Structure 1
Amino acid sequence: MEEILAVEQRRPVRETPLEKLVRESGAFSAALFRLAWLTALLTPVLLASFLTLDLAVFRFDQIFDSAAQKPSNWLSVGGIVMTCAGLLVILFSRRYGGDEASRAITASWGVAAIVVFAGLAELAPVLQDSDFPAARSVVAFVASAMLGQYVAVHFYDVLRGGGAWWRAPLIAALAGLGLQASIFYPWAFWGSDSPWFFWMLADFSVKAAGAAAFLPIYRALQQTLKPRGGFGGR
């Protein structure tokens, strides 16, 4: 006689409309709070970059004899701060994934733009035309920085979870910062007599050094910023 094995079948637990509403509302609230938190971290960095963009760094000028090649022509405090912003979003991507990091980038730039325009409107009566940078340079700076940050989180999201621990953050940082430099300098200086190609290479060299210096920080934060479930990484 064949033994008939009874297979227990579990019926899916039915969720009432109210329970579904509560669950989805909770998930939405958590996502909104997370976006607000990441935006609150990134926006001050962007604003600090805007406010210090015209503060040139003169410390290394004595290394170069040619006036056109001196780092103060292209190296500014604001540029360094924006480099830090590009590295910060990689940490966002590690913890929450590329999509969440991209949303934080979009929201942060939006909030920063509102703050900047509000400040300009408030100060407009006392500002002179000479107080404003060239529109071409501003657009080039903003566009290159935004695109560089999007590319950095995308590269990190693709490369995470495989190979040596430093591969994903280093390649992501170099890709994002490299794109930023390669967009900004041709856009801002094309057609001028400035040695912008030399400035672009020098700027990327400094940013590459910054990306390398970022690796020990990334390593130290690996355990603290463990990826959330489903995002992979180590």
Structure 2
Amino acid sequence: MTRSYTFGVLAMAIVVVASNILVQFLFGQWLTWGAFTYPFAFLVTDVMNRVHGVQAARRVVWAGFATGLLCSLVGTQIMGEFGPLVSLRVALASGTAFLVSQMLDITLFDRLRGGKWWRAPLVSSLAGSFLDTVIFFGIAFSASLAFIEPGNDVSWANEALPLLGSGPLAPLWVSLATADWGVKLLLALVALLPFRIIVRRMTARLA
């Protein structure tokens, strides 16, 4: 395993662990601090894809997936005020969303890698993060999927409220998902600069 490949695995693990910890802490009304760290998983994947190719990027994603499963396992054993910090639905939503969205990111990036340097990371990250948001919040909180974990009461997430406090009525989880997607959209743009810098440095070292 090359040094830069090891960097990718460690970076992904750090992002996943940090996000699993920070998701426990609220930021305002609609977000958690984890919303600001998790999108950088797409940056790690895209850097590895650009420098080492599709197979290396997939291995890094699988390493991140395994790390996420471990975090979920630990979370199910820690009791909070309302039960385990991580429920079955949240664990299933998190793992599924991560794996599916990251694999989509890798596929799109590979198909677009021949264009402008920014197109592949931007388009793949936007598409992947959108899918991640839909899958996670849908599985974790949608009333239509209550059969996944009947004993887990998520009625609070389905309370009809104005979207983001001022829009049309929608389940609370839709506002949470919308705010989360907004952060991912912003960070996909911000991440273009470190993507460019890191790829140049890693490529120069491998030359």
TM range, smaller chain: 0.7 to 0.9
Cα contact 1:89–1:101 (8 A) shared by 2: yes
Query: C-alpha distance in 1, partners of 2:33/2:56?
Result: 28
Equivalent residues in 2 for 1:144-159 (5 A)? 144-159=97-112
Cα contact 2:108–2:124 (8 A) shared by 1: yes
Query: C-alpha distance in 2, partners of 1:223/1:35?
Result: 15
Determine the structure 2 residue equivalent to 1:173.
125
Change in 2 beyond 3 A, CA 1:155/1:228: farther
Counterpart of 1:51 in structure 2: which amino acid? I
**Which TM-score applies when normalising by structure 1?**
0.66
Sequence identity (%): 24
Query: C-alpha distance in 1, partners of 2:44/2:203?
Result: 15
Cα contact 2:17–2:67 (8 A) shared by 1: no
Query: C-alpha distance in 1, partners of 2:133/2:203?
Result: 30
Determine the structure 2 residue equivalent to 1:220.
197
Question: How far has the Cα of 1:166 moved from its partner?
Answer: 1.3
Question: How far has the Cα of 1:79 moved from its partner?
Answer: 2.6
Cα contact 2:4–2:202 (8 A) shared by 1: no
Answering whether residue 163 of structure 2 is matched by residue 210 of structure 1, we say no
Query: C-alpha distance in 2, partners of 1:228/1:159?
Result: 24
Cα contact 2:5–2:48 (8 A) shared by 1: no
Cα-Cα RMSD? 2.8
Determine the structure 2 residue equivalent to 1:201.
178
Determine the structure 2 residue equivalent to 1:10.
none
Give 1 or 2: higher strand fraction: 2
Counterpart of 2:103 in structure 1: which amino acid? Y
Question: How far has the Cα of 1:127 moved from its partner?
Answer: 4.0
* Counterpart secondary structure, 2:18: helix
Change in 2 beyond 3 A, CA 1:36/1:220: closer
Determine the structure 2 residue equivalent to 1:43.
13
Change in 2 beyond 3 A, CA 1:228/1:160: farther
Cα contact 1:35–1:103 (8 A) shared by 2: no
Determine the structure 1 residue equivalent to 2:54.
98
Give unpaired runs (5+ residues) of structure 1: 1-29, 59-69, 230-234
* Counterpart secondary structure, 1:44: helix
Question: How far has the Cα of 1:116 moved from its partner?
Answer: 5.6
Q: How many residue pairs end up in the alignment?
A: 180
Cα contact 2:75–2:84 (8 A) shared by 1: no
